[in-house]
Chains A and B, each alone.
Chain A
Amino acid sequence: MSLKPKIALFQCQWCLYSPTDQEWVDSQLPENIHLIKTPCTGRINPLYVLNAVQGGADGVMISGCLPEQCHFKTGNMAARRQLEEFNDFLDYIGYEKSRMRFVWLDLQDRGIIQKRLAQFEKDLEALGQASNLVTRVKVAEGGQNA
């Protein structure tokens, strides 16, 4: 793959708010990473993920707090159950399971997400560009891709 894989990063806002991570978000976020901040992983509707996939995301990363650390008590647990199943379901109809990855961060963690993203990027490069389920009209044809 010549271009870097496009990654949709769904990020819970509560575990990425240390100043160093914020600076990374504000000024150093690579172009191939589309960051979607959510109030909690529990807010991530499978439809959001589907939108990313249909829009041409080569990979989807979902990042939130560890169990028992959720700002809303159980948001991350609910998300885990639902999105994990959604991942399996998309695999069943053609979007490889390994294109979706979960990262659970400790509130004290610093700089972890960057490392995990780098690893994910490498793995996605090996997988190649996503084509299944990418059905949105391409930018060149008047559409808008992720």
Chain B
Amino acid sequence: MPDLNAIKAEAKRLLAEGVVEVVVAFKPGDTPLHPQPAFFTNVDEVENLVYDGLCQNNLATFLTRLPKTKKVGMLVRGCENRSVNALVVEKQKSRENLYLVGIPCEGIIDWRKIVERAGEAVLAVNENNYVVEIETRDEHFTFSKNELLHDSCLRCVHPTPLSADILIGEALPEGNLAIARKAVEEFEAQTIEDKYAWFQKEAERCIRCYACREACPMCYCTECFVDHIEPRWTESGATPAGMQGWHIVRAFHQTARCTDCGACERACPMDIKMTYLTEKLNHDMINKYNFEAGLDTQTLPPFATVTLDDKNRFMA
């Protein structure tokens, strides 16, 4: 775990020296399982800052909600850093107005995995050196952190922020792309009927609350395609056509933009799996165009660039 005091000191410095107007980070939640994103604007508040494995949101999602010219300091992990970069590529924020405090990420704990193992009455969660101790109303549990990590984090390739202004803690080794690809390959190897059955089962639990959309840093459209009235792109209700349409198009809009942070899946109140969709698209982009979203702040995603090198592909 990175040193919390070092993070606080840095956040205080940023505010005190006027480098930024607001620091986006986390504060303790009212339940131990849910730390809350927080916006610190003065030095005194920063004492309240927390950071642990349960901080499940991708803070970059708040970037497009703050005024464009505001100077923002942000706590970023590997995936968040890439999301920020992708937003800079899409001109949603200029890099000069950002100060990124990088944290090498040891993975985000999926609170559902805690509830599954320890029940809901969790009173305290302590995390130390890849061991998570959980205090519930009646019992005490000890888990290895790997057991509780969110699926996206288990296949994380870039845990260390790539372009943070300051890194707090030691950089972690890069993940293995081949391991990351395994889940997608396994899914792909199924028969077409099985694939559809799985997709159907997952999509049709949807209640269309759009938590996945709101939790995603790349979903910043003022008007989402599902909110259009004329023309109506997908059915509005909780019908198979509407729910499948939503999941297909939401995922597809993330092509070459998704950083596989998994915030969508963690936000879902119905436990719908959806990173298997975006992961497929991510790996296709790597295979076809050797592109990963958010590795830098210049490279345009494949769908925004066309070259005549594509010519040969036409005849396939």
Contact = CB atoms under 8 A, between A and B. Distances in A.
A88 B281 CA distance: 9
Interface in B76-102: none
B306 A94 contact: no
A104 interface: yes
B141 interface: no
B63 to A, nearest CB: 26
Contacts of A81: 302-303, 306, 310
Contacts of B280: 88-89, 92
Interface string B230-244: 000110000111001
B311 interface: yes
Interface in B179-233: 187-188, 192-193, 195-197, 199-200, 225, 233
> Size class of B's contact patch?
35 or more
Given A85-B255, A133-B244, A94 B199 contact: yes
B54 interface: no
A136 interface: yes
B314 A92 contact: no
A89 B251 contact: yes
Interface string A7-42: 000000000000000000000000000000000000
A94 B195 contact: yes
A93 B303 contact: no
Contact of B248 (A78, A80, A93): A93
B195 A92 contact: yes
Q: Is the interface of B mostly helix, strand, loop or mixed?
A: helix
Contacts of A136: 241
> Size class of A's contact patch?
20 to 34
A126 to B, nearest CB: 15
- Those 8 A-B pairs whose CB atoms lie nearest each other, nearest first: A94-B196, A77-B306, A135-B241, A135-B240, A132-B196, A93-B199, A67-B311, A74-B306
24 contacts: A47-B234, A50-B245, A54-B241, A67-B308, A67-B310, A77-B310, A78-B306, A85-B281, A85-B288, A85-B303, A89-B248, A89-B277, A89-B280, A90-B248, A91-B192, A92-B188, A93-B195, A93-B199, A94-B195, A94-B197, A95-B196, A96-B192, A102-B314, A137-B241
